[in-house]
Amino acid sequence: MGDFIPDLSTVVALTDGTLRGATPLLLACLAGLYSERSGVFDIGLEGKILIAAFAGAAVGITTGSAVVAVAAAIGASTLFALIHGLACITFRGNQIVSGVAINFLALGLAAVAGNAIFHMGGRTPQLPASARLNGGDSWFTPMLEGMGRYGEAVNEIAFDQSVFVYIAFAAVPFTWWVLYRTRFGMRLRAVGENPAAVDTAGISVTALRFKAVMCAGVLCGLSGATLSMALNSGYINNMSAGRGFIALAALIFAKWRPVQAMFACLLFAFLSASESRLQGTEVLGFEIPVQLVQAMPYLLVVILLAGFIGQARAPKAGGVPYVKER
Amino acid sequence: MKKTLVGAAVASLIAASGAFADDIMPAVVYDLGGKFDQSFNQAAYTGAERFLEETGIEYRDFEIQNDAQREQALRRFAQQGHNPIIAIGFSHGAAVDKVAAEFPDTDFAIVDMVVEQPNVRSIVFKEQEGSYLAGVAAAMASESQAVGFVGGMDIPLIRKFECGFLGGARSVNPDIEFIGNMTGTDGSAWNNPTRGDELARSQFARGVDVVYHAAGGTGVGVLQAAADEGLLGIGVDSNQNGMHPGSILTSMLKRVDNAVFDSFTDAMNGEFSYGFDVNGLAEEGVGLALDENNEELMTGEILAAVDLARQQIVSGEVSVHDYTADGACPY
């Protein structure tokens, strides 16, 4: 394992793994972006991903339809987003507490409902092939594969992905456009910085924030569906394994900007994908310990945040419930 | 659960009346991952259910959600008069040690760990022997002559699986390529199927075509990746052949079900013994799963090689190295 110059197949596998791994992160990260840019902190990304993953798997198994399953995932996650909105926007509760509650609620509810329906201790059986969205050959696959190994590589990386990968990466320019080129985006940014000014202009802060929270719900729904319907086949307890929190870290890393968020998620996913290759390899006669390899992403975040990225400033009104008048 | 409660209450009434002095109140405490993990814990559940079916004696069980509950669960069962109490998983070691000392008249058993108390039966398995057979089968089935292993948490027990598997594979072809990965270093490594899928794919990209997992819920992703790529996976602990028929070469069975069943039965017959209970190939505590799902994959050639290896191990001709003995793998 001494070769440090990667060959084509290594590059393909690594790129492939990075794109796959970045997808759920990126969707969740953009979800957080909408919510937090409007001034509503969202610790509950993890919970929304989980409940969406569960709903997608459960409905996919029962109906056998991928479309219905994705709709269910988005629906479940949006419902949780609305609960968060109700608690933090309408009733002006503490956003962190509400988010933590969402996480616990999702974890517990998915396990209980899963056990009640499938009797497998909270996990679901496997999805039927018809309800999975894990990519595959398209009409031009044979053409690309006919173009030799580079054609195959292009096919593998660019055209053999699940539909969620395309949605996630298309959502980045879309979010940028919404945020910086539409009226809604301008108001969204304003309401996260200075809701009183938005209110004075005659725009409802509550309605704007609810819209933002629902955007977050939809994106988290897609993130959860990616986990249970594309990367895996079915739900397993706590299968998000902290991705919601890594997405939050990426969001801070990116200073709440969409394009930078994409690069942050790609970086995390790349480190995670290369981690499996670094494991057990020898450098200068020493075997790299698993622990070090796994700590790498976090070490890198600390180093980059401390030294290179500079201060990450959250939206000014983030975490503060808006009170119209005393 | 209510039914079990009532059952336990009835059982205790009957026991108190002395009508059936032999009736026992067994209890099981599962490890993180839960009793339906289609793997290690589920094997214990299967054994307990078989006991219930055959004897009609109800048992209580508990699925812990965090480490703090280990001791609580064991102590509560002991206080309620349950006997014997079986703890599933090495992580219960410290808790069993403590609670067993507090309740010297209660019989305890622990799977995968040695606890030196006079009232504890320590049930351990020679996973290296079963994994060795899995390695033989994998090496015989591999077309690329490259096999892989995905472990859950990086602990000596899981290294033991890996080392035995490597030993078996190298016994068939000393030059066979081998890639081993561990999922992580904390409890979440047992429940991260997405990561398992990714690790398996990274191995496939490097030429591996048979992958063996010892990773609990994470392994579900490993086997899924193998099925998606049209390659072969090897299951562990319980018979996982049916999860992806045609894509799972075999499963390394660890008969935790027999261990639970036997412990309950021994207690019922008043023959509960203490100390070591070692289960290897000779005791049929480990082995490979053969059923209608993998009979086409396990060709006569593979079966013959596996059988030969089994005989060699049972007769002592081949001794499979135990990683936990010295923390090293010589293969």
A residues 102..131 contacting B (CB < 8 A): 119-123, 126
Identify which of B34, B194, B243 has the shortest CB distance to residue A237.
Answer: B34
| Distance in angstroms (rounded) separating the CA atoms of residues A199 and A227 | 39
Computed over its alpha carbons, how large is the radius of gyration of chain B? Answer: 20
Question: For residue B201, is pLDDT > 60?
Answer: yes
| Distance in angstroms (rounded) separating the CA atoms of residues B38 and B235 | 10
The 3-class secondary structure across A280-309, one letter per residue, is CCEECCEECCHHHHHHHHHHHHHHHHHHHH
Higher pLDDT, B1 or A174: A174
pLDDT tier at B106, thresholds 50, 70, 90: very high
Q: What is the mean pLDDT of residues A262-291?
A: 78
pLDDT in tens, B235-279: 998 889 988 999 999 999 999 999 999 999 999 998 899 988 899
The 3-class secondary structure across chain B, one letter per residue, is CHHHHHHHHHHHHHHHHCCCCCCCECEEEECCCCCCCCCHHHHHHHHHHHHHHHHCCCCEEEECCCCCHHHHHHHHHHHCCCECEEEECHHHHHHHHHHHHHCCCCCEEEECCCCCCCCEEEEEECHHHHHHHHHHHHHHHCCCCEEEEEEEECCHHHHHHHHHHHHHHHHHCCCCEEEEEEEECCHHHHCCHHHHHHHHHHHHHCCCCEEEEECCCHHHHHHHHHHHHCCEEEEEECCCHHHCCCCEEEEEEECHHHHHHHHHHHHHCCCCCCEEEEECCCCCCEEECCCCCCCCCCCHHHHHHHHHHHHHHHHCCCCCCCHHHHCCCCC
Percent of chain B topping pLDDT 70 = 93
Q: What is the pLDDT of residue A158?
A: 77
Same domain for B206 and B295: yes
In a domain, A25, yes or no: yes
Same domain for B273 and B241: no
In a domain, B275, yes or no: yes
Contact predicate B279/B260, CB 8 Å:
no
Least Cα distance to B136 among B317, B311, B308 occurs for B308
Q: What is the mean pLDDT of residues B292-308?
A: 92
Same domain for B69 and B46: yes
Same domain for B137 and B108: no
Same domain for B110 and B43: yes
As for how many domains chain B has, the answer is 2
Partner residues linked to B248 by β-bridges: B233
Q: What number of other Cβ atoms are within 10 A of residue A185's Cβ?
A: 17
Contact B197 A227 (CB under 8 A): no
Question: For residue A186, is pLDDT > 90?
Answer: yes
Collect all residues of chain B within an 8 Å Cβ-Cβ radius of residue A121. Answer: 34-37, 63
pLDDT tier at A6, thresholds 50, 70, 90: low
Same domain for B200 and B297: yes
Give the DSSP letter of residue A86.
I
Tokens of A309: 């990225």
Q: State the residue for tokens 């991952």.
A: B33
Least Cα distance to B234 among B161, B318, B176 occurs for B161
The yes/no answer to whether this complex scores an ipTM above 0.90 is: no
> Would you call A21 an interface residue with chain B, using a CB distance cutoff of 8 Å?
yes
Same domain for B318 and B171: yes
Q: What is the pLDDT of residue B5?
A: 52
Parallel/antiparallel/unpaired status of strands B108-111 and B146-153: unpaired
Same domain for B178 and B298: yes
Q: What is the pLDDT of residue B123?
A: 94
Tokens of B294: 């993998």
- Structural domain boundaries, residue A221: 8-239
In a domain, A252, yes or no: no
- Structural domain boundaries, residue B107: 2-126+256-279
Identify residue A23 by its one-letter amino acid code. T
Q: What is the pLDDT of residue A167?
A: 94
Q: State the residue for tokens 């992806």.
A: B244
Same domain for B301 and B175: yes
Q: In sequence order, what are the residues at sequence separation of 6 or more whose Cβ sits closer than 8 angstroms to the Cβ of residue B102?
A: B75, B78
Write the CATH number for B249: 3.40.50.2300
| Distance in angstroms (rounded) separating the CA atoms of residues A56 and B127 | 37
Same domain for B292 and B167: yes
Please report how many Cα atoms fall inside a 13 Å half-sphere around the Cα of residue A321, on the Cβ side. 17
Contact B36 A123 (CB under 8 A): yes
Parallel/antiparallel/unpaired status of strands B27-30 and B120-125: unpaired
Same domain for B146 and B42: no
Closest residue of B to A270, CA-based? B198
Question: For residue A290, is pLDDT > 90?
Answer: no
Contact A232 B197 (CB under 8 A): yes
Average pLDDT across chain B, whole number? 88
Q: What is the pLDDT of residue A280?
A: 64
| Distance in angstroms (rounded) separating the CA atoms of residues B167 and A195 | 66
Same domain for B316 and B291: yes
pLDDT in tens, B56-103: 999 999 988 888 899 999 999 999 999 899 999 988 999 999 999 999
Question: For residue A135, is pLDDT > 90?
Answer: no
Contact A232 B194 (CB under 8 A): yes
In a domain, A40, yes or no: yes
Contact B202 A120 (CB under 8 A): no
In a domain, B331, yes or no: no
As for how many domains chain A has, the answer is 1
Q: What is the pLDDT of residue A283?
A: 66
Instruction: Please work out, in degrees rounded to the nearest 5, the angle formed at the alpha carbon of residue B186 by the alpha carbons of B185 and B192.
Output: 95
Q: What is the pLDDT of residue B19?
A: 38
pLDDT in tens, A29-63: 999 999 999 999 999 999 999 999 999 999 999 99
pLDDT tier at B20, thresholds 50, 70, 90: very low
In a domain, A284, yes or no: no
Closest residue of B to A233, CA-based? B224
Q: What is the pLDDT of residue A130?
A: 82
| Distance in angstroms (rounded) separating the CA atoms of residues A296 and A8 | 25
| Distance in angstroms (rounded) separating the CA atoms of residues B79 and B74 | 9
In a domain, B320, yes or no: yes
Tokens of A262: 């994409």
Question: For residue A134, is pLDDT > 80?
Answer: no
A residues 213..242 contacting B (CB < 8 A): 227, 231-234, 236-239, 241-242
